[in-house]
Structure 1
Amino acid sequence: MIRVPVLPTVVVAAAVVTMIGLGFWQLDRAGQKERLLASYAASQGLPEIAFPTAPLGGEPPLFRRAKGQCLQVTGWRQVAGQNARREVGYAFLADCRTGAEGPGMVVDAGWSANPQSKPQWTGGPVEGVVAPDKAARMRLVSASGLGGLVASAPPSPEMIPNNHRSYAVQWFAFAAIALIIYGLALAKRAKEAAN
């Protein structure tokens, strides 16, 4: 009769329970992400809104058509981007002053293959689609290129991945592998004890 070591068994059991729990958590996240993506897809058909310049509570109105007014461009930054033909290059983002209220807005003025391009846009009315932005939470992607740039690819909910189901499978696989390895270690221990 093999004596099962208590501490390693407790550690492996705790790790397996944690991994299974993380797998179920990822499945729950997958459902949440599917609902969020469905709401983004539905927002594409809603009427145009004014781009929100005041801080928002909750989720921003991503992928909704919007219009805004950039009173003055206060700075530029570049990010990796694509044009409507899916050519890779640089999207030029303008930080805009919108008045005394709120934090202003970020406008994706357009795309260029040349990172040295100097957009000639200094501000004005913008119509486009609200997209996520890592620095400012959201930006307005102009429907037409501004300041001599080509229009950037219009944002779409399809650009947001939903990998949570594959992550869940990975966690469940890790748990199974841990059990198999521990079972093999116990079998080896039993064989050595029998000899």
Structure 2
Amino acid sequence: MPRFPLIPTLVVGLAIAAMIGLGIWQLQRRGEKLAALQLYAANLGKPEMAFPRLPVGDDNLFRRADAYCLRVIGWQSQGGRSVKGTNGYRHLAQCSTGAEGPVLLVDMGVAPDPKVQPAWKGGKVTGTITHAPDHRPLLAGLFDSAPKHLMLISEAAAPGLEPTARPDLSSVPNNHLSYAVQWFLFALVAAVIYVLALKLRQKPKAA
């Protein structure tokens, strides 16, 4: 009779336990995301606030805020959508807020050409708080607990630009339940396949 494969069984068991653990973690993340969505929905109706100058977490996402751009020190662009629903390139102003203050990032509107240089030089801005573009690798973002940087989407566009569409709750994905189900299914499939493999291994060979 073939010997019981102890080490392979331990390896498969650990892999299955890890998959189940990831599924449970995704269920926990789902609960956290639901609570966050409730907070964001409440933020939509809160009064205007001063834009937070330092990364302070996501508690103020989707809330209206104002800030003052002392002067524009640079521009960057990335894909985006205007309030009219047309696709183009969002033009983000990198603003100085003081001699030693942090750089303020303000979305000043959408244009068809990413190379457009808006004539806006700065001033008071009112808009909606959202996340600044994050260029970290996906895995680094998942396991980095540091607060994400924030930016302001201006309600009034710079000359020659269309205002960028205000962020809405539908832009916040909450697919953790489907991820959890996938991990649980992976664990189940791995267990079934391994049990079948053991049965085939222990089946007597024909003489």
Q: Shared topology, TM-score over 0.5?
A: yes
Equivalences, count: 194
Aligned equivalent of 2:187: 175
Aligned equivalent of 2:48: 48
Aligned equivalent of 2:16: 16
Aligned equivalent of 1:119: 118
Unaligned residue ranges in structure 1 (runs of 5+): none
Answer whether contact 1:109 1:147 (CA < 8 A) is retained: no
1:2 shift after superposition: 6.2
The residue matched to 1:161 in structure 2 has which SS? coil
Could you tell which deviates more after superposition, 93-102 or 150-159? 93-102
Aligned equivalent of 1:25: 25
The residue matched to 1:7 in structure 2 has which SS? helix
Aligned equivalent of 2:85: 86
> TM-score of the superposition, structure 2-length normalised?
0.87
Could you tell which deviates more after superposition, 97-106 or 25-34? 97-106
Matched, 1:189 2:173: no
Separation in 2, partners of 1:81, 1:112: 9
Separation in 2, partners of 1:39, 1:156: 13
Separation in 2, partners of 1:41, 1:122: 33
Unaligned residue ranges in structure 2 (runs of 5+): 135-147
Answer whether contact 1:93 1:107 (CA < 8 A) is retained: yes
Cα offsets for 1:126-166 (capped at 9, x unmatched) = 11111111357111101121132100010123211112111
* Counterpart amino acid of residue 152 in structure 1: T
* Counterpart amino acid of residue 175 in structure 2: N
1:193 shift after superposition: 4.3
Cα–Cα, structure 1 residues 101 and 51, in superposed 2: closer, same or farther, change >3 Å? farther
1:101 shift after superposition: 5.1
Separation in 2, partners of 1:56, 1:145: 25
Cα offsets for 1:69-120 (capped at 9, x unmatched) = 1110000000111111322211000000112353031110000122222211
Aligned equivalent of 2:34: 34
* Counterpart amino acid of residue 28 in structure 2: D
Answer whether contact 2:126 2:154 (CA < 8 A) is retained: yes
Stretches (4+) displaced over 3 A: 56-60, 192-195
Matched, 1:160 2:151: no
Separation in 1, partners of 2:85, 2:204: 62
* Counterpart amino acid of residue 106 in structure 1: L
> TM-score of the superposition, structure 1-length normalised?
0.92
Answer whether contact 2:39 2:59 (CA < 8 A) is retained: no
Answer whether contact 1:2 1:193 (CA < 8 A) is retained: no
Separation in 2, partners of 1:13, 1:193: 27
Separation in 2, partners of 1:60, 1:121: 30
* Counterpart amino acid of residue 72 in structure 1: R
Separation in 2, partners of 1:59, 1:83: 24
Answer whether contact 2:77 2:90 (CA < 8 A) is retained: yes
